[in-house]
Amino acid sequence: MKNKKWWKEAVVYEIYPISFKDSNGDGIGDLRGIISKLDYLKDLGVDVIWICPIYQSPGQDNGYDISDYYAIKPQFGTMDDFDELLKEAHDRGLKIMMDLVLNHTSDEHPWFIESRSSKSSPKRDYYIWHDGKNGLPPNNWESYFGGSVWQLDEKTGQYYLHLYSKYQPDLNWKNEEMIQELYKMIRWWLKKGVDGFRFDAIAHIVKAKGLPDAENPNHLEVVQANQFFSNLEHVHDLLRKLNEEVLMESDIMTVGETSGLGPEQALEYVGNERHELNMVFQFEHMTLDSPSTGTSRWETRSWTLPELKKIMAHWQTTLHNKGWNANYLGNHDQPRQVSRFGNDKEYRVESAKMLATFLLTLEGTPYIYQGEEIGMTNASFKHIQDYKDIETLNFYKLSQMQQVPEDKIMAAIYAKSRDNARTPMQWDASEHAGFSDSKPWMKVNDNYREINVEAALKDPSSIYHHYRKLLALRKQHKVMVYGEYTLLLPEDLELYVYTRTLAEECLLVVLNFGHDTVEFEWPDQLAYDAGELLIGNYEGLPEGESEQKKTIRPYEARVYKLI
């Protein structure tokens, strides 16, 4: 096995702390809540816990607006709680990965307060300031959270740039002193003994020279301008330098969040010889249900299975032996995977298990988002008052201003809102789902009495136990980690079939992404009489099934070990 690494064999579990577990009854998840669930995570069989931001923050974007990188936000606990979490995790053989936001800070960060205080402030250049153009913002770029990326600051009459909300001013990565401050902070966390970093929005730290207007044939106020601030060449110089000066000596794992790229471009970040990042989160499969790049991510379209296969195969084969994939089907920014790629009604359990089988049999490091292991579903709250996410609320306001009908706005929110995945974790059937003793900061999904951890632990045929088995198998069979992926039946509309091969070992994965029973003809090139069913998501086999012709039931998943 070439290039064996611990972080390739690891499975990551993502925690969105505000919604994971509340330990002190204020309705807000916290660090002691996480500590209390470490045994649960260990039993599940994951290796690394990625914790979304817990730093000091006004919380405009649930912590992705940091006002002090060296402090824990009191609602989450204290630095002592963090140290204890780290120790308790390490004692159990679990690793901790921090989420670092280096593209921007909060507007309440002391650097920004100083920066905005005057044009001649020594920290002015830590952020991106610009004069307006004829009483208008410096250019027509649209922010990810709606409106212009520019905010006028009355005090000095200049605009500052923010790719996300106006509470999240972008840092200026042309300023060496600012960069050194970030390095110092990262070294400080490394010294504590954290095991890795997820670099938030890292693709965006460099903006195009001259900040040019994007093409705007319809003369809109603002237009998507991704190409001017995503994955630009200089990002790589900055990451190599970060690696050389700060990260290299520690045996940590790194993953960068990089939207808007394909696998060839991803190799520029994760190629074995690049010394930048271990892996990146790509977004291609997350845009499957949007019309096309350039349109709003709130619009939806229906997609077909061959499209998904094509994207995944492209990533799997391009990075094989050359880099490494980070695989995910959902996270805190995306709808619930069973609601999006499966069937959260008649086949919730089957399809959640099928998706788990998919995620854990791809080449790359798998990332499981909290709640997926019990098949949690989209929030689908009826009233806008129940939504908390700044992106969702901005979208609602802007759509209202444009007189989009209410039902159309809400339909988009049901399908795509980030809050779909941010409802409190469902631990048991008691009031507030065992998440908290009092009213949680965000409504619990109504289905918590049926869908919860306690029920899942008791039921040997639950989604939870399926994950557990898959994670154990992954430890046993290195082919699940390192095996080469080969796609079969690329055009099949229901079946997703592939093999994983490592030296003598070979697995055949058969997944039904549809709600019909379909026939699967065992491929001639694979010796069928030797197939041993390693794991499946149905009890027993269908009656009358022959060795050569398999009957694959709705959302069925089977993994065969060949030879």
Residue 419 binds which entry of Ca ion, ligand TEU, none, CB below 5-8 Å type-dependent: none
The reply to whether 259 sits near ligand TEU by the rule CB under 6 A is yes
The reply to whether 419 sits near ligand TEU by the rule CB under 6 A is no
Q: What are phi and psi of 146, to 5 degrees?
A: 95, 145
Question: Shortest gap between Cβ of 28 and Ca ion (angstroms)?
Answer: 4
The reply to whether 81 sits near Ca ion by the rule CB under 5 A is no
Q: What are phi and psi of 447, to 5 degrees?
A: -85, 15
The reply to whether 144 sits near ligand TEU by the rule CB under 6 A is yes
The reply to whether 225 sits near ligand TEU by the rule CB under 6 A is no
CA distance 142 to 8: 37
Tokens found for residue 130: 């610009």
CA distance 425 to 176: 41
Q: What are phi and psi of 114, to 5 degrees?
A: -70, -40
Per-residue binder mask for Ca ion (CB under 5 A), 25-54, x = binder: -x-x-x------------------------
CA distance 243 to 256: 13
Which residue of 297, 468, 553, 558 would you call a contact of ligand TEU, by CB under 6 A? 297
Using alpha carbons, list the distances in angstroms from residue 73 to 5, 19, 81, 105, 418.
33, 15, 11, 14, 22
Which residue of 47, 170, 195, 333 would you call a contact of ligand TEU, by CB under 6 A? 333
CA distance 498 to 488: 5
Give whichever of 321 and 430 is closer to Ca ion, judged by the CB atom.
430
Our CA dihedral for 43, 48, 50, 51, rounded to 10 degrees, sits at 60
Is 333 considered catalytic here? no
Per-residue binder mask for ligand TEU (CB under 6 A), 160-179, x = binder: ----x---------------
Is 257 considered catalytic here? yes
Sheet with 158-161: list strands edge to edge.
Answer: 129-130, 158-161, 150-153
Question: Shortest gap between Cβ of 57 and Ca ion (angstroms)?
Answer: 15
Give whichever of 24 and 265 is closer to Ca ion, judged by the CB atom.
24
Residue 200 binds which entry of Ca ion, ligand TEU, none, CB below 5-8 Å type-dependent: ligand TEU
Please tell me which residue in 257, 363, 373, 556 is annotated as part of the active site: 257
The DSSP string of 292-325 is: -BTB-TT------HHHHHHHHHHHHHHHTTTS--
CB atoms within 10 A of CB 37: 19
Give whichever of 53 and 514 is closer to Ca ion, judged by the CB atom.
53
The reply to whether 318 sits near Ca ion by the rule CB under 5 A is no
Q: Is 157 left (phi over 0), alpha (psi -120 to 50) or beta?
A: left
Contact at 8 Å (CB) between 148 and 222?
yes
Give whichever of 395 and 464 is closer to ligand TEU, judged by the CB atom.
395
Give whichever of 28 and 453 is closer to Ca ion, judged by the CB atom.
28
Question: Shortest gap between Cβ of 61 and ligand TEU (angstroms)?
Answer: 5
Residue the block writes with tokens 């790229």: 261
Please tell me which residue in 200, 289, 389, 556 is annotated as part of the active site: 200
Sites for Ca ion among residues 5-24 (CB under 5 A): 22, 24
The reply to whether 551 sits near Ca ion by the rule CB under 5 A is no
Per-residue binder mask for ligand TEU (CB under 6 A), 468-507, x = binder: ----------------------------------------
The reply to whether 289 sits near ligand TEU by the rule CB under 6 A is no
Residue the block writes with tokens 């899942």: 456
79 CB-near residues (< 8 Å, 6+ apart):
71, 72
The reply to whether 101 sits near ligand TEU by the rule CB under 6 A is yes
Q: Give me the active site residues, please.
A: 200, 257
Q: Which residues bind Ca ion (CB under 5 A)?
A: 22, 24, 26, 28, 30
Q: Which residues bind ligand TEU (CB under 6 A)?
A: 61, 64, 101, 144, 164, 200-201, 257, 259, 297, 332-333
